[in-house]
Amino acid sequence: NLTLVWLRRDLRLSDNRALVAAAERGAVVPVFVLDELFEQMGAAPKLRMMLSLQALAQDLEARGLRLILRRGPARGALEELVAATGANAVYWSRGYAPDVVARDSEIKTALKDRGLAAQSFTGTLLFEPWTVETQQGAPFRVYSPFWRAVRTRSVAPCLDVPELHGPTQWPASDSLETWHLDREMRRGAAVVSRFVAAGEQAAQRRLAVFLEERIEGYKAERDFLDRAATSELSDALSYGEISPAQMWHAGQRAMQEGAAGAEHFLKEVVWREFAWHLMWFFPTIAEGNWREAWDAFEWIEDADHPHFQAWCQGRTGVALVDAAMRELYVTGKMHNRARMLTASYLTKHLNIHWKLGLKWFEDCLVDWDPASNAMGWQWVAGSGPDAAPYFRIFNPDTQAEKFDADGRYRKQWLSHAPEMGSDTAALFFAAMPLSWQAQFEQPQREAIVSLATGRQRALAAYEAFKA
Ligand code: FAD
């Protein structure tokens, strides 16, 4: 028997049910197909995926296997590989985004019609969405009852890396370098790559550091912008270098050992799960307002609007917002609290549609995850199923006093004057495209929209909308 293991957002060897099931049958050919769904991702997610594929190829090579790369429609690529290798089965870890579901079900039918065993496995979520429902048999729309419904559920134990062997003859493969997945990084891939540690082993090391040094204080410290208090595993999770089950079991063990922050960590892992369940049941959540009434709200939808450009470029004149937007641009990541308050400033103070913000994050985030991004944006904007009420408007100054009291975070990203000696702030200027530079010649001394004016305008617009 020979099985193609079609790897997608499960770029790991441990706790990979599709890989284990394939290894139990016989020889394994690991395959990654750069199809249209991956091609259309933003620049930073593509770069991050490239780094992840490099690491996976090395891990496979160390075990005497190869990662076979193909570009083009997934169905054609898999069918060709079936013919080239004589494989009689194709296995993969299930995906849940609507375009992925549509592609996979078409491929499953086509492969089965050819007499192949085509099977998908749980691997990117803890619980299958259709197994978690309210007592009335409906999907959960609010996080807290969702958490209560899953907190004591059992999650299957994690699996070790199986004994693997490949075919006697390997099929041809593209070379990753020729795909140029880093080409679209306007900010220079080298800058963002510095902040990324890709691959399964790096993810396991981050988890170990988190359990050793951070989980105890996680609940108390996680909101502080200038502290390394969280797991920093979201990008690894996004490409499946680590499985959510590995994080879940690690969190459960820590809880049993009495780590104070463990339950809170599990709750955050379940936020991601909740986002994916929402996307499964409400597949258009990334495309439009979940609450349709919000379609009538008059947000600005012009991506060329100078206020939107200023927000993207971290020059709104609101220090905390600008620091966070520059952090995003340079590192491909942003602290969760900073995501909430930059999203709030965009949608409330600047009255710009959350969809524009979502798209910018989609291009910049190395941990881009369609479900968490959509849920996060609709939560802040007030249009989502589980949403902060619109009138909850973050005040970046108050947030700065609470979570960046001595200004370290803002200084790290804004103080580019050499005498202030901050490398990271300088990186932003080194990385930005030429077309932005003229905008920075005059320092932005005042906020483009002041916190008081923006808040009043937002509340007045909301009152009028409700009326
Ligand atoms: P930790 O605090 O260590 O949490 C552990 C894990 O739990 C994370 O790795 C993540 O998988 C999950 N998690 C934590 N908080 C959330 C949350 N609020 N929503 C969903 N999952 C969560 N997260 C993404 O992974 N990709 C995105 O594209 C994304 N876009 C966002 C957009 C907005 C507007 C907002 C407000 C949040 C977004 N988040 C997104 C959620 C969150 O900001 C990140 O998951 C978190 O900052 C990652 O850091 P960490 O791994 O150190 O998290």
Please report, for the domain that includes residue 460, its CATH number. Answer: 1.10.579.10
**238 near 367, Cβ under 8 Å?**
yes
Asked if residue 299 belongs to a domain, the reply is: yes
- Compute the distance between CA of residue 59 and CA of residue 19 in angstroms, rounded to an integer: 14
Q: What confidence category does residue 417 fall into, taking pLDDT thresholds of 50, 70 and 90?
A: low
User: Residue 444: what pLDDT?
Assistant: 80
Pair (237, 204) in one structural domain: yes
User: Residue 422: what pLDDT?
Assistant: 65
Pair (109, 214) in one structural domain: no
The answer, yes or no, to whether residue 420 has pLDDT greater than 60, is no
Query: How confident is the model over 6-64, as pLDDT tens digits?
Result: 999 999 999 999 999 999 999 999 999 999 999 999 999 999 999 999 999 999 999 99
Pair (80, 135) in one structural domain: no
372, 373, 394, best to mutate for ligand 1 pocket (most atoms within 8 Å of CB): 372
Pair (407, 300) in one structural domain: yes
Residues in contact with ligand 1 (CB, 6 Å cut-off): 222, 230-234, 237-238, 268-269, 271-272, 275, 336, 339-340, 343, 361, 365, 367-369, 372-373, 376-377, 380
Is 287 annotated to bind ligand?
no
- Residue 196 Cα to chain centre, angstroms: 14
Q: What confidence category does residue 424 fall into, taking pLDDT thresholds of 50, 70 and 90?
A: confident
User: Residue 423: what pLDDT?
Assistant: 80
Pair (118, 142) in one structural domain: no
User: Residue 432: what pLDDT?
Assistant: 87
Q: Residue 262 is encoded by which pair of tokens?
A: 């463990």
What share of the chain in percent tops pLDDT 90? 88
The closest-lying atom of ligand 1 relative to the alpha carbon of residue 377 is 34
Mean pLDDT confidence for 427-444: 86
Mean pLDDT confidence for 131-158: 96
Pair (144, 262) in one structural domain: yes
Q: Residue 121 is encoded by which pair of tokens?
A: 């496995």
Asked if residue 165 belongs to a domain, the reply is: no
Pair (29, 52) in one structural domain: yes
Query: How confident is the model over 121-141, as pLDDT tens digits?
Result: 999 999 999 999 999 999 999
Mean pLDDT confidence for 437-443: 86
**Cβ neighbours, 10 Å, residue 72:** 14
Pair (223, 301) in one structural domain: no
Is 234 annotated to bind ligand?
yes
Pair (437, 416) in one structural domain: yes
Q: What confidence category does residue 416 fall into, taking pLDDT thresholds of 50, 70 and 90?
A: low
Mean pLDDT confidence for 104-108: 98
Is 15 annotated to bind ligand?
no
User: Which stretch of 1-10, 321-330, 393-402, 427-436 has the lowest confidence by average pLDDT?
Assistant: 427-436
User: Which stretch of 184-188, 403-407, 442-446 has the lowest confidence by average pLDDT?
Assistant: 184-188
Instruction: Using the 3D structure, point to which of 123, 138, 173 is the last residue of a domain.
Output: 123
Identify the residue whose C-alpha is closest to ligand 1 atom 48.
234
**236 near 208, Cβ under 8 Å?**
no
Q: How far is the CA of 330 from the centre of ligand 1 (A)?
A: 18
Pair (299, 420) in one structural domain: yes
Query: How confident is the model over 326-383, as pLDDT tens digits?
Result: 999 999 999 999 999 999 999 999 999 999 999 999 999 999 999 999 999 999 999 9
Q: Which residues pair with 117 in a beta bridge?
A: 89
Question: Is the ipTM beyond the 0.90 threshold?
Answer: yes
User: Residue 302: what pLDDT?
Assistant: 98
User: Residue 320: what pLDDT?
Assistant: 97
Asked if residue 176 belongs to a domain, the reply is: no
- Compute the distance between CA of residue 96 and CA of residue 131 in angstroms, rounded to an integer: 14
- Compute the distance between CA of residue 361 and CA of residue 358 in angstroms, rounded to an integer: 5
Q: What confidence category does residue 148 fall into, taking pLDDT thresholds of 50, 70 and 90?
A: very high
Identify the residue whose C-alpha is closest to ligand 1 atom 7.
269
Residue 204 sits in a domain of what CATH number?
1.25.40.80
pTM beyond 0.95: the answer is yes
Asked if residue 172 belongs to a domain, the reply is: no
Pair (272, 381) in one structural domain: no
Is 233 annotated to bind ligand?
yes
The answer, yes or no, to whether residue 421 has pLDDT greater than 80, is no
Identify the residue whose C-alpha is closest to ligand 1 atom 15.
268
Domain that holds residue 230: 125-155+199-281
- Compute the distance between CA of residue 109 and CA of residue 112 in angstroms, rounded to an integer: 5
SS (H, E, C) the chain: CEEEEECCCCCCCCCCHHHHHHHHHCEEEEEEEECHHHHCCCHHHHHHHHHHHHHHHHHHHCCCCCCEEEECCHHHHHHHHHHHHCCCEEEEECCCCHHHHHHHHHHHHHHHHCCCEEEEECCCCCCCHHHCCCCCCCCCCCHHHHHHHHCCCCCCCCCCCCCCCCCCCCCCCCCHHHHCCCCCCCCCHHHHHCCCCCCHHHHHHHHHHHHHHHHHHHHHHCCCCCCCCCCCCHHHHHCCCCCHHHHHHHHHHHHHCCCCCHHHHHHHHHHHHHHHHHHHHCCCCCCCCCCHHHHHCCCECCCCCHHHHHHHCCCCCCHHHHHHHHHHHHHCCCCHHHHHHHHHHHHHHCCECHHHHHHHHHHHCCCCCHHHHHHHHHHHHCCCCCCCCCCCCCCHHHHHHHHCCCCHHHHHHHCCCHHHCCHHHHHHHHHCCHHHHHHHCCCCCCCCCCHHHHHHHHHHHHHHHHC
Pair (277, 304) in one structural domain: no
**Cβ neighbours, 10 Å, residue 122:** 17
